[in-house]
A and B are shown apart, each in its own frame.
Chain A
Amino acid sequence: QVQLQESGPGLVKPSQTLSLTCTVSGSSISSGGYYWSWIRQPPGKGLEWIGHIHSSGSTYYKPSLKSRVTISIDTSKNQFSLKLNSVTAADTALYYCASGLLMGFFDPWGQGTLVTVSS
């Protein structure tokens, strides 16, 4: 059974880079043709898909974030990561990692990690 766990700084200064990691257990990140996704949720608001990386290495990002986002896989650590640069207060959110065999089938999810952008 695949399990996911996010980790990373809870506080990031404006204009800096937000970096989060999702550690995968119960499955090899490079096998099985999974999609590995990042989704965020501003406090008290709805869900926003950020992007994903397929186990083949192909990526797709939400166009409005594309210029600032990078999602990558580290097979040696069985992790995938999110980097979001030039952050502002609008990037303050609970960040979830999720996976699925089919695009849009988010199952399971990590527990989420809150990132606050503030000086």
Chain B
Amino acid sequence: DIQMTQSPSSLSASVGDRVTITCRASQGIRNDLGWYQQRPGKAPERLIYGASSLRSGIPSRFSGSGSGTEFTLTISSLQPEDFATYYCLQHNSYPLTFGGGTKVEIK
């Protein structure tokens, strides 16, 4: 199985801060990576696909980058509704695997 390692596992930030989350794959996955946001008590929602493409309707403050084994999700200016847990997901090969999650909390 491809292991997806996210860092940090949690972070505290203020509204307006720039936040970066990293996801590392245990082997190359090209750009077969998505990012998901899960707000408390809600189902996850897809934000990014193909490592860097923004899903329709997602605010432009979210961006993704990377290829191969290193990927990042950046929130350029954190908003109150962005406090949530973020997961990366690789779909390059079976079984599909999620990162452990990054919880973004209010400072």
Taking Cβ atoms with an 8 Å cutoff, the residues of A that contact B are 46-49, 51, 60-63, 96, 102-107, 109-112
Contact = CB atoms under 8 A, between A and B. Distances in A.
A105 B95 contact: no
B94 A107 contact: no
A106 B47 CA distance: 10
A104 B89 contact: yes
B100 interface: yes
Interface of B: 1, 32, 34, 36, 38, 43-46, 49, 55, 87, 89-91, 94-101
Given A102-B91, A106-B46, A106-B89, 4 more contacts: A104-B32, A104-B89, A106-B36, A106-B44
Given A104-B91, A105-B49, A106-B36, A49 B96 contact: yes
B94 A112 contact: no
Contacts of B46: 105-107
A103 B55 contact: no
A51 B96 CA distance: 8
B21 to A, nearest CB: 14
